[in-house]
Structure 1
């Protein structure tokens, strides 16, 4: 894929862009195999590829320049703003929001944050697209509430220009450090959830909830877990680090008890909303730390699904699962080295099947989903 920003040296986020996509995918598969070489009997399923362009449902735009002439994109090596509104990774339904947002920044006179002087307000624009409906969630990451009144005053103008705008919020991040967002969210729109649909199931996204970046590959990820679950036919499941409920909702079935655990209260509220819409009486979601939840249980279901952040599930939860009565694990990892470390800590489990899903083309990142069974 050709990108004029990469060719000109304005953006190098897609570090593997010069490599043909088939070679990228082959390298990732080989890298993953090397990390899991201690389990040579695992069956490697064919990798799931991605579209090379227009696959992102999210945009994180650094805002620079001035309120009269804002620049949406990234900061270059010299700290100068680089305009990336026409990045080829964004689908048109997402990219078409940038011009109305620039006009709104001017209208509400929201000064971009300036790193050197530590002045200004607007640090980032975070956009999420519901691919199926075309609706948008837009979050303004601000240093303070200084501009919120003006934003409310001109909100109707933005809504007229962006009728697909579903959720609009302000996230307050007052600190001068490399932290994307803060804890406090101010909702400016009437709706607080953006509905995403994967494999026909509704998933509700709130401003601070996690959601996969690539819809098509995410659908394949959840479908793989569902297919394995249907083959195993467990009577009960834990979905740890469940987020907005993607794995739990896909693996739910009549008479199958599913418990989803996630530390984010907002994500659990979203998961409960989806569960209620689907009338899934045997599905429960609870806002707890996954390791703390597990440590408080005396009975463990036959199947546990794990979808942790990049650091993995850690030694404590590994030790718990190793000593538990669980028969199978489905482990979805966005960081293969931490997956390999966790598997070494659970020697009673062996990988039966592994699948690589290329959630992030042109980068060294990828997703691995693994079905593990306890020996004996």
Structure 2
């Protein structure tokens, strides 16, 4: 038995990978096969015969079917060991990273109820509305009565939505038949204000049933200050479409991380764990040590969380982000915080960064905060060409982080501090912040 990058147990059975969520290395378990593919089987854990020494009591009845938090039955020490090993194993793939020291993981102050947003899928089983997540490797919906990782307001909203959709007899989208209305439910919570934004992702625009649903939801859950519909008529696995329309309440959700106030749009990316995000932002600011005469560049800046923290100290901060809506939020957030020294640019980092380099030629600090796929080589080259005295990489994927650090080495930059942060307790995911400095010969 081994764990994959998502923390899900994988054994071998009849020459195929046998996926069993909730089973851990060294354990002996019984499981039933629930889905068969050409190269893998998906099973459900039935009984633990020989347990991992750090196994603890199950905290969720949906663990073996949902698989969203596969390390839930391990204590924190065992979870941290798995995450540290993952980072070290990724680094050991590259000779220049083998000797790099990795600091102990920063523990999360709240190991449960920390997730401030959720993406749930609608389904129907035996005539009843289902609202939850897909079972791994299938399109079967696992109905979640409540998730221990979700902010309590998310669980409350999801429960009310399920009841109202059932009561109002709103059609659920059926992917096989290509018919129906409701596809996904997106819930975003502002922990600092205990308010929420709800977005219904639908197969086609609806101005008959959804406004009534929005009104009913706000009446039962007054903390919902924004209700929107997003149209996604595609047949693939993309969740959010391009067309979003406000149904009720405000357009954006107000939140605060540290001393920075933020406006969040439905499609804008933002960290799900506010407490740990605040610690990362402060760490980046501390490592940057910017002066009023200096310039910083924040690549993959999102709604401006890191850039705005840096703008407190810098003379000028540039942010690049591919999602137009997030850039609009970033610009609004700069005004909201009375920060006039920020310039946010919409576009793919690999397409925009070279023009920015030609314009500013040098930046004292460069921050890389890419998606799980990491940075394109031309982005790394452009970042190094700005000759920063400090380059900071914020990563959610140890494997692509290690790859990119190895590519930065011949460009003249080496890691001198590595700080893992437990952004996602109960899962195998780990956030890692790395400070790089110029290599001196």
Q: Classify the TM-score, shorter chain.
A: over 0.9
> Do 2:394 and 2:433's aligned partners in 1 also have CA atoms closer than 8 Å?
yes
Secondary structure in 2 aligned to 1:14?
Answer: coil
Matched, 1:342 2:404: yes
Q: 1:79 to 1:33 in 2, by over 3 A?
A: closer
CA distance in 1 between counterparts of 2:248 and 2:378 reads 41
Deviation at 1:144, TM superposition (A): 0.9
Secondary structure in 2 aligned to 1:269?
Answer: helix
Deviation at 1:245, TM superposition (A): 0.4
Greater strand share, 1 or 2?
A: 2
Of 49, 53, 71, the match for 2:112: 53
- 2:334 aligns with 275
- 2:76 aligns with 21
CA distance in 2 between counterparts of 1:231 and 1:278 reads 18
1:79-228 matches, cutoff 5 A? 80-106=140-166, 108-145=168-205, 147-228=206-287
Deviation at 1:231, TM superposition (A): 6.9
CA distance in 1 between counterparts of 2:114 and 2:216 reads 29
Deviations 1:242-283 (A, max 9, x none): 000011111113552111111211111111111112211212
Deviations 1:49-75 (A, max 9, x none): 223321111122111117973221134
Deviation at 1:79, TM superposition (A): 5.1
Deviations 1:215-265 (A, max 9, x none): 111111111101112378871100111000011111113552111111211
The structure having more radius of gyration, on CA atoms, is 2
> Do 1:67 and 1:106's aligned partners in 2 also have CA atoms closer than 8 Å?
no
Deviations 1:274-329 (A, max 9, x none): 11122112122121222222211321212111111111111111222334422321
Deviations 1:9-33 (A, max 9, x none): 3322222223222111122123212
Deviations 1:158-188 (A, max 9, x none): 2211211122111111122211121111221
Secondary structure in 1 aligned to 2:278?
Answer: helix
Q: TM-score, normalised by structure 1?
A: 0.92
Q: Which runs of 5+ in 2 are unaligned?
A: 1-56
Deviations 1:80-103 (A, max 9, x none): 543213221123222111232123
Q: How many residues align?
A: 374
- 2:436 aligns with 372
CA distance in 1 between counterparts of 2:226 and 2:125 reads 25
Deviation at 1:76, TM superposition (A): 4.0
CA distance in 2 between counterparts of 1:341 and 1:223 reads 26
CA distance in 1 between counterparts of 2:383 and 2:422 reads 28
- 2:11 aligns with none
Q: Which runs of 5+ in 1 are unaligned?
A: none
- 2:417 aligns with 353
> Do 1:137 and 1:165's aligned partners in 2 also have CA atoms closer than 8 Å?
yes
1:37-52 matches, cutoff 5 A? 37=92, 38-40=96-98, 42-50=100-108, 51-52=110-111
Q: TM-score, normalised by structure 2?
A: 0.79
CA distance in 2 between counterparts of 1:350 and 1:109 reads 59
Aligned-CA RMSD value: 2.3
- 1:239 aligns with 298
Q: 1:315 to 1:82 in 2, by over 3 A?
A: same
